[in-house]
Amino acid sequence: MVSVIVDTTSKVKVRATIDSRMVLLTSLEILSDSRDVGFCGCSKPGPAALTEFDIPYKSRFVKHFLMYKNDPIVKVFEQLVSNQNFYLDKWSNLMFHLTKPPELEVAVPLPKEFEQRFGDKENLQEFIHLLRNFAAATGFCSFFESHSDMFRKIEANTEEQLTRYGVIDALENYYGIKQHSYTLLIEPLFRKWGGNGFRMECHGGSYDAYAIIGSTGVKDGIPVVEGLSLVNTSIHEFSHHFVEPITESVKEKISDMAMGHKSTPIPEGYNTFYSVVIENIIRAIEIRLVASMTETDSVSREKFVIEELKQLEQRGFIFVTKINKKLEEYESKRKEYHTFAEFYPLILKVFEDYNTT
């Protein structure tokens, strides 16, 4: 198993932030009656989708924004989520093509994908116009600024945790490449389990990688993001930005492979064999990296890996144990395989050989 040396004096490689664009997006999430699975999973829509932690900020947030439930943008948002599978990762990506409120001007050219999802360019522009009006009508910027002290405390604590655990070092060492930047987007009202993310391509093929996570607990009435929940989720979400581009390059091969996997169980929350491939790979890697960060002996770490693999298989991730064996080979042959991309074809054989083993 790969070993990770944690250096608490190293330069911070990941920025943790509570971004006003994400908070504005959260206000639309709670006002709409949609079931955005990216935000609330299988929970009920609306305020019930918020974190279950009892924090004063949640009460203030709901009280402030619920009076704007009939704003024109809310119905548009709800329809897009319901009809276009336009979930949290896509909404977040869209928001980061814009400047921060109140201007919300297009700062990065919008991909054609967004125009297609909105129907045409005019509908997309109208949505951004409505978003601007909504931010002004709700006094969003004043509300956000009134919580800035709390936000800064959460950000500083989270960055310290990420640096102390060496999350980005671990990812870069394991995959053998670096991304252009790493940003952990903290949404204190995001549901307490799981995460999400998106990426924006940079010149040279690397990415500005974003992971989204909610609070993992509460201390003195303030949301906190820390501990193994933070480590697990950040490793998982940032891993998507390493594994997905590699998988995308062989998407046709996986589509052909899917024909032989029509009876393969698909875990809850996913709907394609392509997503099954990605999630099984990432979850197997996540387990090994998290185990390498624990301050226990090698026997205890291996026991942790076995237990985690067993739980994942029970949840329908039936390939993780075999992928784990392949990862052991990868870790032992890093002089031969400098990057995970070079080893990836051997990982893919786990899925190719499934019906013949």
208 inside domain: no
**Domain-located, residue 201:** no
The per-residue pLDDT for 339 is 98
Task: Return d(Cα 194, Cα 206) in angstroms, integer.
Answer: 25
- The yes-or-no verdict on residue 44 having pLDDT over 50 is no
Instruction: Quote the number of domains for the chain.
Output: 2
Nearest alpha-carbon partner for 64 in 36, 105, 104, 23: 23
Identify the domain containing residue 91 by its residue range. 20-147
Average pLDDT in the chain: 89
Alpha-carbon span 150 to 158, nearest angstrom: 12
Average pLDDT over residues 137-159: 97
Q: How confident is the model at residue 5 (pLDDT cuts 50, 70, 90)?
A: very low
Residue at a domain's end among 147, 182, 210: 147
pLDDT tens, 127-143?
Answer: 999 999 999 999 999 99
Domain assignment present for 209:
no
Q: Of 122, 147, 172, which residue sits at a domain end?
A: 147
In a domain, 294, yes or no: yes
> Higher pLDDT residue, 262 or 252?
252
pLDDT of residue 205: 85
Residue 36 has pLDDT above 70, yes or no: no
Confidence of residue 294 (pLDDT cuts 50, 70, 90): confident
Residue 286 lies in a domain: yes
pLDDT (tens digit, 9 = 90+) per residue, 180-227? 999 999 999 887 567 899 999 998 889 999 999 999 889 999 999 988
Distance CA 188, CA 195 (A): 12
> 186 lies in a domain?
no
Instruction: Give the separation between CA 182 and CA 208, rounded to whole angstroms.
Output: 6
Alpha helices in 259-339 (DSSP H): 273-293, 298-314, 320-332
Q: pLDDT class for 41, splitting at 50, 70, 90?
A: low
Distance of alpha carbon 82 from alpha carbon 193, whole angstroms: 22
143 and 24 within one domain: yes
CA angle 53, 54, 58 (to 5 degrees): 95
